Amino acid sequence: MRPGPALLVPTFAVLAGSVSAFAPGTPAAHWSYLIAFAALVAAGWARLRTLRGPTRSGYALIMGALSVWLAGDLLYDILTRIVGGLGEVSPSDALWISGYPLLAAGLIRLTHLRAPGRLREGLLDGLAMTTVMAWLCWQFLILPAVEGQRLSLSVAVAAFYPFGDVLLFAAIAVLVLVPGTHRGPTLFLVAALTLTLIGDIGISTLPELFPSLSRALQAERLDGVLLLANSLLVAGIVHRDAGRIADGAAREQRLHPARVVFLGVALLVLPTASGLSHFESAVSRVSLLVSAVLMTGLVLLRFVLVVREQERIRAALAHQAGHDQLTGLANRPALLARLEFALSRPRVDPYSPVLFYLDLNGFKQVNDRYGHSAGDFVLVEFARRLTAALRPGDVAARLGGDEFVVLAEDIDSRDEAAALRARLQELTAEPVRRGDEICAIGVSVGLAAAEGGHDADALLAAADAEMYVAKNLTTA
């Protein structure tokens, strides 16, 4: 199936569902709902066959949820015609209930693809909001329905539906709160979940609000809402950008103001409810306490993760400010700061500190012959060898290009400086091997000691000049 205009799908559902809204309980409403639902499921699976890539698994779970819901409707219709009245619980309930976790799993999968590596924050915020939603469902939907009743299959099954709505609410919260684009198919998915939640809550609460109307008639009036919600799920799959729902997903890093508002409301619900309501039953008080503890734990965990992320970012920025990005060695500002500090300290031996200025020979030829990637490989390998050759307390830095500097503070004689210089010159005795490429390089080393009372810039310039003398002797 070629992806057509996604808006045609909910338009079709509105036309089919209007029969249930205006003529509930009639055969026309019944068959228009079933035929339209079956057509939507068929269209979704046909579109799914054309999708490729990792998003296909998420959409397959969504279609699995729609399929089991349709199977539940068909099974209920068949059993009703064969057996008659099925009572409060039927085999279809197992299918209807199983659709909720399938739908939530598919949406979480798509959300993970939209924000790889950034799902944790949105998941925690979604769980915080879901905790409040779960408590509200428990306190005002489940508990009033089961109080005074013995535990039975019908009571247990009735409790599963509000928890399914909690799963849907969690999927909405995570889908909205996780960074990423909220356009295209995502907009259809959010709208579908919202309508499903409204329809389910309506089916649960309308009998209490309008007891004069039969439960079956009220449910059939809402069939059009649920059909529209299901069509929006299919519209998200049929959308031309369904396979690219994760493209550029992690670019959005800012905290959206709506996220703060939603979390603020979630944090206010539990203390407000405890202050305005008097919960007489022990079950109500325990559920409120458990929800408050869980909410507090989620908020604290979120706070700890934010603080640790900020600490990690600050540490990374501090490291980048003082280190060369390619080799990981100190950069010029960090070297000069360390050198100025070494020169400012009282020195027992006036000979140190000593600077060794290193410049690679033949590096340009490596770049010209093998390319800049090979040149970068040579620089990284030389930096590794240089770090391994240093003594404790010595500092190695890369000034740029193929120029390196070593600062040695604990050298008390010219002979010791000459010995370290000779060790540095041996770093290129073994050529650098990169696969089948053999990169032969050399190194020229200039030496300058602080015995003449140099400042940092002068000492660096003296070592640089000494390096050029050594380089000219090498190439002469």
> How far apart (Å, rounded) are the C-alpha atoms in residues 47 and 52?
11
Is pLDDT above 50 for 214? no
Domain boundaries, the chain: 8-317, 332-475
pLDDT band at 154 (very low <50, low <70, confident <90, very high): low
Taking residues 319-330, what's their average pLDDT? Answer: 89
Helices 153-177 and 91-114, interaxial angle, to 10°? Answer: 10
Is pLDDT above 90 for 30? no
> How far apart (Å, rounded) are the C-alpha atoms in residues 446 and 454?
16
Backbone angles phi, psi at 248, to 5 degrees: 60, 25
Higher pLDDT, 215 or 33: 33
Cβ atoms 435, 362 nearer than 8 A: no
> How far apart (Å, rounded) are the C-alpha atoms in residues 160 and 248?
37
DSSP codes joined into one string, 317-352: HHHHHHB-TTT-SB-HHHHHHHHHHHHHS--SSTT-
Higher pLDDT, 314 or 282: 314
pLDDT for position 253: 53
Backbone angles phi, psi at 324, to 5 degrees: -75, 130
Give the pLDDT confidence of 351-409 residue by residue, as tens digits. 778 999 999 999 999 988 889 899 999 999 999 999 999 988 899 999 989 999 999 98
Amino acid residing at 18? S
pLDDT for position 249: 47
pLDDT for position 39: 95
Is pTM beyond 0.85? Reply is no
pLDDT for position 246: 65
Task: Look over the chain and give the mean of its residue pLDDT values, rounded to a whole number.
Answer: 81
pLDDT band at 209 (very low <50, low <70, confident <90, very high): low
pLDDT band at 287 (very low <50, low <70, confident <90, very high): confident
> How far apart (Å, rounded) are the C-alpha atoms in residues 324 and 336?
14
Token readout for 423 is 């060790």
Give the pLDDT confidence of 79-105 residue by residue, as tens digits. 888 887 667 778 888 898 899 899 989
Taking residues 464-474, what's their average pLDDT? Answer: 87
- Domain 332-475 is found in CATH 3.40.50.2300: no
Higher pLDDT, 184 or 238: 238
Residue 390 per-residue DSSP state: P
pLDDT for position 120: 74
> How far apart (Å, rounded) are the C-alpha atoms in residues 424 and 63?
66
Higher pLDDT, 180 or 387: 387
pLDDT for position 422: 92
Does 402 qualify as catalytic in the annotation?
yes
Q: Which residues contact 424 (CB under 8 A, 6 or more apart)?
A: 356, 358, 386, 389, 406, 443, 445
Q: Mean pLDDT: which of 90-104, 143-157, 245-259, 286-300 is highest?
A: 90-104
Give the pLDDT confidence of 264-276 residue by residue, as tens digits. 777 777 777 777 6
Residues 364-381 as b or e (16 or more Cβ within 10 Å = b): eebbeebeeebbebbbeb
- The catalytic residue among 402, 455, 457, 464 is 402
Cβ atoms 393, 410 nearer than 8 A: yes
Residue 311: CB atoms within 10 A of its CB come to 10
Can you list the alpha helix ranges (DSSP code H) found in 115-222?
119-137, 143-146, 153-177, 185-209, 215-221
pLDDT for position 406: 95
Is pLDDT above 60 for 210? no
Alpha carbon distances (Å) from 61 to 66, 105, 237? 9, 7, 11
Give the percent of the chain with pLDDT over 90. Answer: 30
Dihedral of alpha carbons 307, 313, 317, 319, sign = positive
Taking residues 183-204, what's their average pLDDT? Answer: 80
Is pLDDT above 80 for 234? yes
Q: Mean pLDDT: which of 142-156, 309-323, 362-376 is highest?
A: 362-376
Q: Name the 3-class secondary structure at 398.
A: strand
Q: Cα Rg for the chain, rounded, in angstroms?
A: 35
pLDDT for position 6: 85
Is pLDDT above 50 for 215? no
pLDDT for position 286: 83
